[in-house]
Structure 1
Amino acid sequence: MPSLPETSSAKPDVVAPAKDAATVMLLRDTAAADGIEVFLQHRVGAMAFAAGMTVFPGGGVDKRDADASVSWAGPEPARWATWFGCSDSLARALVCAAVREMFEESGVLLAGSSDAAVTDTSRYADERAALVSRQLSLAGFLADAGLTLRADLLRPWANWVTPEAETRRYDARFFVAVLPEGQEADGATTEAESSGWQRPLAAIADAEAGRRALMPPTWCILRELADYPTAAAVLAECEARESIPKITPRIAVDGDSIRVELP
């Protein structure tokens, strides 16, 4: 497993706070029905965090993501708060951030009516651009479009926190979602130089061969996903979880060697 892209040889005197973030593993079954594929993006080299890394769509929580006016279908914020061990307000913001970030970075929108997701997201291209530029909030977009956020199309998977030795840190909650019928993931974002579907083990093989770089959370989660034959099986696994443990790796320095240790 690789080390993190940004490392420090010593723990800083002041530990940087970890910014709340949401990441989504978008899944689909393969055409041959013999496994799953996950949507991955190769980040551009100029990014401040995880530059050049292959990642799942996601990003930091915007303060407007906690807007309680969002029309909501699915598990209530209190349930998400139990899963992730946080406040109801933060849980709402995390789910909204997951939906917003995935739409911004992949064009996939987990919203629609209370019982069906939209099938054509191209009609919301202008709104997508306005979300990216922060000219529009998710709540404002959904309200204007008459859409309901479909929290029931998301499931909780993991919670990773950047090591304390790093100067830029995130408390990232990882969600799972299945590509809604009729939608396509386009990866049209300035944050990635390329995007596409890949089997989890194939992505790991690319990293082992030096063709791609994976951060430890991405590597570990891809390995976990590889054990499931279908997207439905992944969702079923999530249903059985009462809570999501927080994982904070530690950077260990041994001479000239730097490694990431998991708890």
Structure 2
Amino acid sequence: MTIDKTQIRNASTVIVIRDRFESPRILMGQRGSKAVFMPNKFVFPGGAVDKDDADIALASPLPEMCRDRLAEDADPTLAHALAVAGIRELWEETGLILGQKGDWQGTPHDDWASFAERGYVPDASALQFVFRALTPPGRPRRFDARFFLVDADHIATDLDDFDAACDELSHLQWVALSDARSFDMPFITEVVLAEVEARAKDLAPPASVPFFKNNDEESLFLRLRGRPMTD
């Protein structure tokens, strides 16, 4: 049996949902044609956890239930960095701020300088941990990705202003949840969409979170319930 030696990086993705009770829409963008990972695909904002993410102070932490689910089958100290990474990636790729007005503790890291200049501190209290997926073996890059859902009402800035976004995602747009599957997207994004549709009108964090676990031996579809997993 060949063992995949590709490094698995922790990653965070944020799904922003708008008008969830009337005509729900989600924010998506298209990856570049030259991207190593999922070129040309429409995806949610997200990316790998950086080493500095664990050091960033939050105005408010993740809900306790989300922290419990994130700690299952994972390093329990990682939850904070995952939340920070998701908020950072949302800012970098869309220019939208999930935060509260406030002053930073010390000098912000380079990735956060422009965020801090606008007078905000990242806030994770509205994030709902809704899905986890491990990239299958054999891919050029592998991620242990956690997907967070957040209501657009918690975004502090103009929902239609993407001027501060970097160029990693193009064609940023609010996509009707009912039309999203017509876009060219990765398989796992389609799976996550089904979970988002099921939770579109639920404002509380889920008590049970799906985990699509692809390792070198098998693919498992598990449920994270906040309890230690046994071998």
Q: Classify the TM-score, shorter chain.
A: 0.7 to 0.9
After superposition, residues 239-254 of structure 1 pair within 5 angstroms as 240-241=206-207, 244-249=209-214
Paired with 2:156 and 2:25, the residues of 1 have a C-alpha distance of: 15
Tell me which residue corresponds to 2:159: 184
1:28 aligns with 2:28: no
1:218 aligns with 2:204: no
Is the Cα contact below 8 Å between 2:134 and 2:213 reproduced in 1? yes
* Structure 1: gaps (5+ residues): 1-10, 115-130, 207-211, 252-260
Paired with 1:63 and 1:71, the residues of 2 have a C-alpha distance of: 16
Identity %: 27
Structure 1 20/189 Cα, relative in aligned 2: closer, same or farther at 3 Å? same
Q: CA deviation at 1:250?
A: 7.6
Structure 1 199/227 Cα, relative in aligned 2: closer, same or farther at 3 Å? farther
Tell me which residue corresponds to 2:68: 82
Tell me which residue corresponds to 2:6: 16
Paired with 2:18 and 2:84, the residues of 1 have a C-alpha distance of: 22
Q: CA deviation at 1:145?
A: 5.9
Which of residues 72, 80, 86 is equivalent to 2:59?
72
After superposition, residues 228-243 of structure 1 pair within 5 angstroms as 228=199, 233-236=201-204, 238=205, 240-241=206-207
Tell me which residue corresponds to 1:175: 148
CA deviation vs aligned residue, 1:92-120 (integer Å, no higher than 9, x gap): 11100001000111111111148xxxxxx
Tell me which residue corresponds to 2:227: none
Relative to the length of structure 2, the TM-score reads 0.77
Give the alignment's Cα RMSD to 1 decimal: 3.1
Which of residues 32, 56, 71 is equivalent to 1:44?
32
Is the Cα contact below 8 Å between 2:58 and 2:84 reproduced in 1? no
* Structure 2: gaps (5+ residues): 103-107, 222-231
Paired with 1:214 and 1:177, the residues of 2 have a C-alpha distance of: 20
Instruction: From the CA coordinates, give the structure whose radius of gyration is larger.
Output: 1
Corresponding residue pairs, total: 210
Structure 1 51/234 Cα, relative in aligned 2: closer, same or farther at 3 Å? farther
Paired with 1:142 and 1:39, the residues of 2 have a C-alpha distance of: 20
After superposition, residues 142-221 of structure 1 pair within 5 angstroms as 147-179=120-152, 180=155, 183-187=158-162, 188-204=165-181, 206=182, 212-221=183-192
What secondary structure is seen at the aligned counterpart in 2 of 1:38?
A: strand
CA deviation vs aligned residue, 1:180-221 (integer Å, no higher than 9, x gap): 3652244433112311011222011x2xxxxx3211221012
